[in-house]
Amino acid sequence: MARAGGKIILLGEHAVVYGVPAIAAGIARGAEAEASTAPRAVLEIERLGRFRSGEPHDTARAFSALLAALSAPPCAVRARLELPPGCGLGGSAALGVAIARAVLDHLGTPHEAEDARVLKATEAWETVFHGNPSGIDAAAAARGGCIQFRRGHPPEPLPVKVALTVAICLAGPASSTREMVAGVARLRERRPQVVDKALEGIHALVKNARLAIGAGDLPALGRLLDLNQMLLSGLFVSTESIERCCSLARDAGALGAKLTGAGGGGAVLALIDGDATPVLDAWHAAGFEAFETRVAATP
């Protein structure tokens, strides 16, 4: 079985589409896949369905695009996703990376030496779902660890002084990244100054967050997450449910909380100082699904 992790965006979603750097980190939960010989390309994703090449379905089209990017012959792939799809945790990119790795392994080209091909294939897969992805999901899923990502540039690994404990909650419902990105683009057409001011603000927060992560200053990082959430609300990508999950986390002692990914529903993350239990309990008591993840310190 080939594997890949999902991701969280710590700061900079949406702004990253317009060239602002963003900070993302790989998470352990993700996807796994296994490929075998078959006369026709078919992808079976546990609980999500079976997709054959040529079918008029995004997943079937994305699978064909991924195989074409790898110059791979038709094959059968069985995959399993460990993250809810459409919640901003990089589930589709994790699937893309796991499938690309599985196909390369099956072709006798061990994927460990083929990072660039895996990334290219995952970008082809992501483009079918997202239209105009910045590439951050694919980069974080393919690479893991904490990265700074700037559109069109190779991801830059970021030194992490103190491991980050992050609680994640599904504020829901699932949302479409493509539609959320299009919504921000429409807002930018109508009110360019407002959006560009928000993008500048997010850029400043990302620069400071990079310093805070490098210095292990968790309280500062928490405040930067809160400020990023405020600017994202100004772009109309937050929801009542996201705001509620952020408040519940802060009231339960989180250092900061924000949506992660495209917004419009999906996931919220909270930075924890020490034990995540009080924040997870607060979310569970309010009926939200939640779990904990860690971003390891770099040696």
Which residue of 95, 181, 276, 295 would you call a contact of ligand PMV, by CB under 6 A? 181
The CB-of-280 to ligand PMV minimum distance in angstroms stands at 21
Which residue of 136, 225, 232, 290 would you call a contact of ligand PMV, by CB under 6 A? 136
Residues 217-276 that bind ligand PMV (CB under 6 A): 261-262
133 binds ligand PMV (CB under 6 A): yes
Which residue of 137, 169, 172, 210 would you call a contact of ligand PMV, by CB under 6 A? 137
Q: How far is CA 91 from CA 53, 79, 129, 214, 229, in A?
A: 21, 12, 12, 27, 22
**Cβ closer to ligand PMV: 41 or 262?**
262
Question: What is the Cα 260 distance to its own chain's centre?
Answer: 8
Which residue of 177, 229, 239, 241 would you call a contact of ligand PMV, by CB under 6 A? 177
5 binds ligand PMV (CB under 6 A): no
17 binds ligand PMV (CB under 6 A): yes
Residues 88-107 that bind ligand PMV (CB under 6 A): 88, 90
198 binds ligand PMV (CB under 6 A): no
123 binds ligand PMV (CB under 6 A): no
**Cβ closer to ligand PMV: 182 or 286?**
182
**Chain residues that interact with ligand PMV, rule: CB under 6 A:** 9, 13-14, 16-17, 88, 90, 130, 133-134, 136-137, 177, 181, 261-262
